[in-house]
Chains A and B, each alone.
Chain A
């Protein structure tokens, strides 16, 4: 791990925090979407498995020690026990998986494949941890928790597309990231 890697990890932890400052948009039916999870997707897509995953671990460590860096100014150890705690723990794993999939290509993966990678890690992996956790915290059956979480998928899909489009252009400008 070089100094440059450390600086990139810090930068993407900060980026994920800064994305939480963007006011949330409310979709139809009152479902809020925030830009924060785009930080997770971008970290994986641009930094790769190890650095991307560590950037999000660092971000969550800062949240856990009480800095209000989550969207809506939330922070502190309590958020990990809350209804979305599992989704938060899914973030670094999601970034890692996205990075792992991108790392398997010597150059940039084709557009359609990149969409699949980012959706798989950024939605699939994150929900895989988040939904059972939600079910546990709220005393619900997993299917019921899943049904409730589906409302957030359209917003997440928009973020997947934006991430892939941005990551392509950034990689073009900085090929040896």
Chain B
């Protein structure tokens, strides 16, 4: 499965996912509570140090920011026009710190570990009636369905090409959806037959 995880054996890689998620939540809240450039800037520096600690090149940290560059530009433009450029710099620094920190969590934690972490977190919810094994089933089914959906659209496209309809959006979308929904019924019968 495609994922953003970067293999490694640093202390950050080995830290339990729950602690990393908790730290991210705390850092995120603090960044909004302590509304100063000094604090946001310090968090950026600490974050960059953590990237090095995780044996990740700083270009990885930059890669977290790149998709957001146009948003940074918009924020700065809007602040210069409506308020004060200083507020724009503060917003961008805070935003950059959050993006890099969250990226660090994603880069150092396997998706499977996160799923295990999620399932552990769900256990107390059992008392409230949440069926945790249903959640695990839904997660693995979703990951399996994504490539299946892509295949079904290809099949329908081939079939419609014979009718000259391969460029017709509805002639692709409707049969593909109906076909996968019918397939879901079979999948669910199969799961029940195995007494899930």
Contact = CB atoms under 8 A, between A and B. Distances in A.
Partners in one complex: yes
A170 B118 contact: no
Contacts of A28: none
B102 A65 contact: no
Contacts of B188: 2-4, 6-7
A77 interface: yes
Interface in A129-177: 137-141, 144, 148, 162, 165-166, 169-170, 173-174, 177
Contact of A6 (B137, B150, B153, B177): B137
Nearest to B110: A66
Given A76-B102, A76-B103, A162-B169, A6 B134 contact: yes
Given A4-B184, A78-B102, A14 B142 contact: yes
Nearest to A77: B102
Nearest to A73: B2
A4 B3 CA distance: 28
A140 B138 CA distance: 39
Nearest to A74: B67
A81 B181 contact: no
B68 interface: yes
Contact of A138 (B91, B105, B138, B174): B91
A58 B136 CA distance: 11
B78 A148 contact: yes
A37 B4 CA distance: 23
B87 interface: yes
The number of chain A residues touching the other chain, given as a range, is 35 or more
A105 to B, nearest CB: 20
A51 to B, nearest CB: 11
Contacts of A170: 174, 177-178, 181
Interface in A104-150: 137-141, 144, 148
Interface string A63-106: 00111110010111111111100000000000000000000000
Interface in A1-38: 1-4, 6-11, 13-15, 17-18, 21
A49 to B, nearest CB: 17
15 contacts: A3-B188, A3-B192, A4-B184, A6-B188, A17-B142, A66-B5, A67-B143, A76-B105, A81-B99, A139-B90, A144-B82, A148-B74, A162-B173, A166-B174, A169-B174
Q: Please give me the 6 A-B residue pairs with the lowest Cβ-Cβ distance, nearest first.
A: A78-B102, A14-B145, A76-B106, A65-B114, A10-B141, A66-B106
